[in-house]
A and B are shown apart, each in its own frame.
Chain A
Amino acid sequence: MSQSTAIHGEKISLLRVLGPGHVWALGVGIVLVGEYMGWNFAVGKGGAIAALIACWFAGLLYTCVAMIDSEVTSTVAAAGGQYAQAKHIVGPLMAFNVGLFLVFAYTMLEAGNAITLGYLVQTVGSMSGFADTHDKPFIVLTIMFLAWLNYRGVYATLTFNLVITAIAFVAILVLFFAVQPWTGEYMKHRELLTGLPYGWLGVLAALHFGMWFYLGIEGTTQAAEEVRSPARALPLGTMTGIITLLIAATLTWYVCAGLMPWEYLGQAVTPLFDAARLTDSTVLMVLLFIGTIFSTLASANGCINDASRAWFSMGRDRYLPQVFGAVHPKYRTPYRSIVFLVPVALVFAYFAPLDQVITFSILSGLLEYTFMAINVMMFRQKWPLGTIKRGYVHPFHPLPAIVLLVLCSATYFAVFLGYGTQLVAMMVFYIVASLWFALHRYKFVRRGAQFTMPWPKPVGY
């Protein structure tokens, strides 16, 4: 592919080159790493069976998210995704908060991925007999390389993601068939499953990390200004993405729970890689090692893409200093936002512990989903069906929104169990940021010009 340098006319925009496959790769690429690491902390919080229940409840939560998101985004298709939705449907302060949720959910996830990748390379180094190995150089290299790739253009970035995500997904499928679930030779669920060590409270607590199976799928909307036909490709990519993840999550649970005692599984760093080790097959071990590396790369890559789009669109509206609203004339990427977020990711990946970073990310995601449930109800109210063209209409409204809200409340409680202080620290951060925006920053924002969709006046105004 070539990214031509000629500029005619006086405006530059992001480049519209992506198809539904790229949208799928962006969504699944960010999330699939959750199957390779992190989801199993749900086993630690409530036992293996609790993790399965949490996996399906979180799956329901995210199916609601995907349906709601597909409808709103097939209409409000703009870089920044949920940020632009909030701006058009709820109002500026909410939009600013949503923009921050997005940036931090993704940047923290990126940091988490880099930490995991560094750890893996270091482990391999130690396993091959080298003393005194370090993970830091590989953490830094991951972030720098992927930022560079993102800087150079979206098409190459997401095509790269499509390839490595597909490989990581196939690795899970291969593992599933290799353990021959129909023979019972490897799978020992009957002997390994032990009921609920914490009772039903554990099931609720497991929801916290159950989200990790799917966290980030809603990032597909960030590509809205780079997709060739957003109204079709975004719902298609998002829905196939969530189906892929539901399959991968269930298979992952099945294989891991049939191979490892829950006490180990609940604290493992790389559960799928461990599962491969327990099959005694070198081929599988290598495959799942590659899968783990690729999934962390794909995820960090997609995160840089999404976080920079959100930061960029906030800069463009002057919610943030307007220098961030710049597009590179040659590569057509939000290059200043990409560069700015590099040191932020580096600091977190370098100094903060993994579970801390993950919780930071999960909480930002959770706040975002809570917003989405209320958002879609307001959307249907202000622009009832038929008043504007929707690329996709989700069924059973308002049931998905209500289910989403209930599940979000349960997940807040799950995070509160064990991580209550972080929850409050996060809220303090968003409250201070909100005050800063409302009292200081908002005076630099144009008022009517923020509303860019060609819609009629909302009902009730």
Chain B
Amino acid sequence: MAKAPYQPPVQSKLGQTFDTLFLLVLVMASLFVPLYLGLAGGGKTTLELKDQTWAGMGQNATMQAQWEKLGYTQGAKTDANPTSAADLISARFDYTFEPLELVLTALVVIGYFFIVFHWSKKEYREVIDERFNNK
């Protein structure tokens, strides 16, 4: 039952160039679109620090010594005090999220793998048939 092997068409130089450009555009778009829409970057918040001395920011003597050695100072960040560590110490991630978002994201990932594996299986059968039946 050996059927003739599939003969792919030969792609013209123009077609090859076009395909290359298409991929390039796709890559650039997927990186820069979220960037331009301002959707990128983690959710971040800032801790409220009333007392911005080392002790008030929860730093003990050892920590203070290391901060100072790295070139940082206590107190609020102002033009007169540009080396303040306060901004670094108060930066926090915001891990709150909508459960619906999580479910949707999970569905996208799982769905993606499901479709790719399923489609591959169909194409794979064809490959195996041609490879082993025609020999």
The answer for the CA separation of A197 and B92 in the assembled complex, in Å, is: 9
Whether the Cβ atoms of A418 and B95 lie closer than 8 Å is yes
The answer for the CA separation of A332 and B73 in the assembled complex, in Å, is: 56
Whether the Cβ atoms of A93 and B120 lie closer than 8 Å is yes
Whether the Cβ atoms of B128 and A421 lie closer than 8 Å is no
Known: A355-B41, A448-B127. A320 touches B19 (CB 8 A): yes
Within 8 A of A (CB), among B1-30: 5-6, 8-11, 15-17, 19-20, 22-24, 26-30
Residue on A with the closest CB to B94? A418
B55 CB–A CB distance under 8 Å: no
Whether the Cβ atoms of A264 and B70 lie closer than 8 Å is yes
Total residues of chain A contacting the partner, CB 8 A: 83
Within 8 A of A (CB), among B63-99: 63, 66-67, 69-70, 72, 85, 88-89, 91-95, 97
Rounded to whole Å, the gap between the CB of A281 and the closest CB of chain B is 13
Query: 1/0 per position for A312-328, CB-CB distance to B under 8 A?
Result: 00000010111100000
Whether the Cβ atoms of B124 and A91 lie closer than 8 Å is yes
Query: 1/0 per position for A338-377, CB-CB distance to B under 8 A?
Result: 0010001001100111011000100000000011001000
A457 CB–B CB distance under 8 Å: yes
Residues of A within 8 A of B61 (CB): 191
Whether the Cβ atoms of B24 and A421 lie closer than 8 Å is no
Query: 1/0 per position for B20-57, CB-CB distance to A under 8 A?
Result: 10111011111111110001111100000000000000
Chain B interface bracket (under 10, 10 to 19, 20 to 34, 35 or more): 35 or more
Whether the Cβ atoms of B19 and A429 lie closer than 8 Å is no
Whether the Cβ atoms of A260 and B70 lie closer than 8 Å is yes
A123 CB–B CB distance under 8 Å: no
Known: A321-B16, A420-B105, A432-B26. A93 touches B116 (CB 8 A): yes
Rounded to whole Å, the gap between the CB of A120 and the closest CB of chain B is 17
Rounded to whole Å, the gap between the CB of A139 and the closest CB of chain B is 17
The answer for the CA separation of A212 and B91 in the assembled complex, in Å, is: 22
Residues of B within 8 A of A397 (CB): none
Whether the Cβ atoms of A205 and B93 lie closer than 8 Å is yes
Whether the Cβ atoms of B70 and A274 lie closer than 8 Å is yes
Whether the Cβ atoms of A424 and B128 lie closer than 8 Å is no
Whether the Cβ atoms of B6 and A321 lie closer than 8 Å is no
Known: A93-B116, A418-B93. A412 touches B109 (CB 8 A): yes
Whether the Cβ atoms of A446 and B8 lie closer than 8 Å is yes
Residue on B with the closest CB to A278? B69
From B17, B35, B123, A356 is in contact (CB under 8 Å) with B35
Known: A420-B97, A429-B26, A434-B115. A442 touches B123 (CB 8 A): yes
Residues of A within 8 A of B116 (CB): 93-94, 97, 434
Whether the Cβ atoms of A264 and B88 lie closer than 8 Å is yes
CB<8 Å pairs between A and B, sample of 26 = A93-B116, A94-B116, A192-B62, A259-B66, A263-B91, A267-B91, A277-B70, A322-B11, A322-B16, A344-B24, A360-B31, A413-B102, A416-B105, A417-B93, A417-B95, A421-B39, A422-B34, A422-B40, A425-B33, A427-B109, A429-B26, A431-B115, A434-B115, A446-B8, A448-B127, A458-B128
Which A residues are within 8 Å of any B CB, using their own CB? 44-45, 86, 90-95, 97, 104, 188, 191-192, 197-198, 201-202, 205, 259-261, 263-264, 267, 274, 277-278, 318, 320-323, 340, 344, 347-348, 351-353, 355-356, 360, 370-371, 374, 412-413, 416-434, 436, 438, 441-451, 457-458, 461
